[in-house]
Amino acid sequence: MYTRVGCEDSSAARDFLRERGVPFAEVDIDKDAEALRFVMRVNEGKQRTPTFDVDGHTFHCSPFDPQKLIRDLGLQRTQRC
């Protein structure tokens, strides 16, 4: 999950994943120039966070939408939202 400090959408996604026990790695695009370039490349030049890269499937969840995140991550809809 590509994030940046102070991003409310990133915080919401982080909390959402942690509450469900979904493992993830986090990369701060403000501290990693390559990560910033990647996020901008996959988001049409925008610094959208959080951006996810799951086995080559890239997507952002900004604004945060738990149903979109469930769908894009392939999580079961039966999990608490």
pLDDT higher for 55 or 12? 12
pLDDT for 75 equals 79
When divided into structural domains, the chain yields a total of 1
Q: What is the mean pLDDT of residues 55-72?
A: 94
* Dihedral-angle region of residue 74 (phi above 0 means left; psi in -120 to 50 means alpha; beta otherwise): left
Q: Is residue 29 in some structural domain?
A: yes
pTM of the model: 0.88
Question: Is 59 within the bounds of a domain?
Answer: yes
Determine, yes or no, domain membership for 80: no
DSSP codes joined into one string, 12-66: HHHHHHHHTT-----EETTT-HHHHHHHHHHTTT---SSEEEETTEEEE--S--H
In a domain, 36, yes or no: yes
Query: Considering the chain, what is the average pLDDT of its residues?
Result: 92
